[in-house]
Structure 1
């Protein structure tokens, strides 16, 4: 009977140590994102990047400049993000789900997003969509077939002037 208690006690100690280690790992691989308001986000809300869940909200606190969200992002994900990464709250009404946090990598050439960094987020999902549209317009403008067509029109215009 005494051996059973020793084994159970050892399991409890190992479980507590494992849980504590996991909590420490999450805290050391998180960033703080500051929003004007929480927008319905709660601890456990997913963080999404390019359609893949890459993290989750660990906690929220009221701060002098808004609401601080502590967000868990693994080291691999943070390597892909820069300090200009765009964090936004997607209200999720189109999907019928609750809100989620979305993130875009940011401008290349800037410093990678460090562990325990503090960055600003935006509450406007419209801004996120506008950023998507501007990217699509830039991709369209740089399309090789469109560029070739523009060159031909310029050549035609120059020939007409002669």
Structure 2
């Protein structure tokens, strides 16, 4: 064998050796990613739809990769049985009431399984156990919903643009308010009036508070009426008396009206006295005659007192009247002393 052949054989051997090293490294790398050389346990979950999940996809727990999907098989009538392998070190965190959920690494990325560990009260899972599965979100339904939302958003944007155009053109009440200076001034004046009314209300409230505080001041009339039962009783009696007086006044008014009606009767003597002029003249003449007769009677009495025949009678009568007056004065004096 020549030197050239030996050199070629060495080069080929080197390349073969490098290829073997690369192959072994790749095998170990892939095996490490697939957890081929790590002790695992097998769990199962039944889904209605796996949504594109494939064997070899990852299994995650709290953001940590703990295993891979081993197999996907049809189960029952229309369900899918998914077998997963997880590391034994993760077994201590997964309980029998754990939940397996299909998720995505990104919006359009590979599918994976996310396990929620369950509650501490439940027992830990064992090799071959079946955990509860939650069906994944339907991507097609999600896209359809997004499309509907996009159409609604486009409609809202169109309406908003039309609304802003109307506002800028001064259409409608708000548009007129934005463009009409007179209307804006009126609106500002209205706001000022409302502000003034609010201030007046605040002032009235303050005055009312001050007034009520005065009512609550001890010793005041209102406070005495509101708190003193005796004063309240007196006020109540006064109101009752006032009501009685009002009733009496009403009765008196009715009586006066009745008397007035009787006075207006033509057959009544008083009405004749008030309205008949001839009767009034006769009555006046009669009164004048009575007055003249009284004067003449007084003159005759004075003449009788001067007459010696009747002088003794009048003197005895005067003495008797004097004694009666003195007795009355003494009685009044005794009563005054008793009172003192």
- Tell me which interval the TM-score lies in, with the shorter structure as reference length: 0.5 to 0.7
* Long gaps (5+) in structure 1: 1-21, 127-162
- Within the candidate set 12, 29, 48, 2:60 is matched to 48
- What is residue 60 of structure 1 aligned with on the other side? 72
TM superposition outliers: structure 1 runs of 4+ over 4 Å: none
Correspondence 1:76-91 to 2 at 5 A = 76-91=89-104
Kindly indicate which of the two structures has a greater share of residues assigned to strand: 1
The higher radius of gyration belongs to 2
TM-score using structure 1 length: 0.56
How far residue 92 of structure 1 moved from its aligned partner, in angstroms, is: 3.8
**Judging changes above 3 Å, is the alpha-carbon distance between structure 1 residues 75 and 68 closer, same or farther for their aligned structure 2 residues?**
same
Alpha carbons of structure 1 residues 58 and 106: separation in structure 2 relative to 1, 3 Å: same
Corresponding position: 1:111 with 2:123: yes
Deviation at 1:69, TM superposition (A): 0.7
- Cα distance in 1, alignment partners of residues 86 and 106 from structure 2: 25
* Equivalent residue, structure 2, for 1:121: 133
Higher relative contact order (CA 8 A, sep 6+): 1
TM-score normalized with structure 2 length: 0.28
CA distance in 2, matches of 1:118, 1:86: 10
Aligned to 1:34: 46
SS state at 2:131 partner: strand
- Could you say if the C-alpha distance between residues 106 and 41 of structure 1 is closer, same or farther in structure 2, counting changes exceeding 3 Å? same
Secondary structure at the aligned position of 1:68 is classed as strand
User: What does the per-residue CA deviation read over 1:35-59, in whole Å, with 9 as the maximum and x for residues that have no partner?
Assistant: 1112111000000111111100000
Instruction: Tell me if structure 1 keeps the 8 A contact 2:59–2:67.
Output: yes
RMSD, aligned CA: 2.3
Shift of 1:72: 0.2
Name stretches of at least 5 consecutive residues in structure 2 with no aligned partner: 1-35, 139-340
Measured in 2, the distance between the counterparts of 1:56 and 1:49 equals 11
**CA offsets 1:94-121 (integer angstroms, 9 cap, x no match):** 3x41111101110111010111001221
Q: Aligned-pair distance for 1:125?
A: 5.2
CA distance in 2: counterparts of 1:116 and 1:52, whole angstroms: 22
Q: Which residue is 1:11 aligned to?
A: none
Judging changes above 3 Å, is the alpha-carbon distance between structure 1 residues 125 and 78 closer, same or farther for their aligned structure 2 residues?
farther
Spell out, residue by residue over 1:139-158, the C-alpha distance to the aligned partner (whole angstroms, 9 max, x if none). Answer: xxxxxxxxxxxxxxxxxxxx
| Bigger helix fraction | 2
- Contact 2:99–2:116 (Cα < 8 Å) also in 1: yes
Number of aligned positions between the proteins? 102
